[in-house]
Amino acid sequence: MKLPRGAEWMAHCLVALAVCDDVGPVPRRALSEMFDISEEYLTKQLQLLVKQGVVASAAGQRGGYRLSKPAIDITLLDVLNAIQGDAPLFNCENVRCRGIFEPEAEKIKARGKCGIHKAMLNAEKEWRESLGHVTIDSLTESVGDDGAKTMRDFVASVRQ
C-alpha cells in the first residue's frame, strides 16, 4: 500500500495550522517554505482540504489558511479522504479466476470473495479505523514547545 505523499505533507501542514492557530491565518508561502513544498503543489492539496471542509482560506494581505474546525475534530482519516478520496486501497483483480481456473470462473465467483480479498478489506478497515482515532490535536504534542515556537516565529516573520 502506498499513500500519496500529499497525505503526509498535508498532515504536517494541518499540525502547523493547529500550532499556529492563535497567530491567525497562515500564509501559503509560510507553509511552502516551512516544509519545502512547492507553492503550486501545496495550493492544489490545500484546495482539496478546503473542498472537504477541513481547512478554510482567507484572502488578502493578512490572509492564509486556518483549520475550519477544532484540531481535536480533525483526524488523519479526514486528511487521507480529502487527498485521496475514500476509494478502497485494494482492487481485487480476481486472479483466482484466471489461467487454468478460467473455465470455472463463474463457479469460483459464486463462492464469494476469496480469503485474500477478505483479508485485504479487513486490514484496510482496521487501518482506516486507526487513522480515524488519531487527531491533529494529538499530533501537535509531537512538535514540542521548541518546535511550536519555531513555527509561530517563522509564520510571524513571513507576515512582516
CATH assignment of the domain containing 142:
1.10.10.10
In a domain, 100, yes or no: no
DSSP 3-state assignment of 56?
A: strand
Per-residue pLDDT tens digits for 47-80: 999 999 999 998 887 789 999 999 999 999 999 9
In a domain, 13, yes or no: yes
In a domain, 96, yes or no: no
- The DSSP 8-state label assigned to residue 135 in this structure reads B
pLDDT tier at 112 (50, 70, 90 boundaries)?
confident
CB 13 within 8 A of CB 46: yes
pTM beyond cutoff 0.85 = yes
In a domain, 43, yes or no: yes
In a domain, 115, yes or no: no
**What's the structural domain count of the chain?**
1
In a domain, 110, yes or no: no
pLDDT tier at 2 (50, 70, 90 boundaries)?
low
Q: What is the mean pLDDT of residues 149-159?
A: 93
The answer, yes or no, to whether residue 85 has pLDDT greater than 90, is no
Q: What is the span of the domain harbouring residue 145?
A: 5-86+135-159
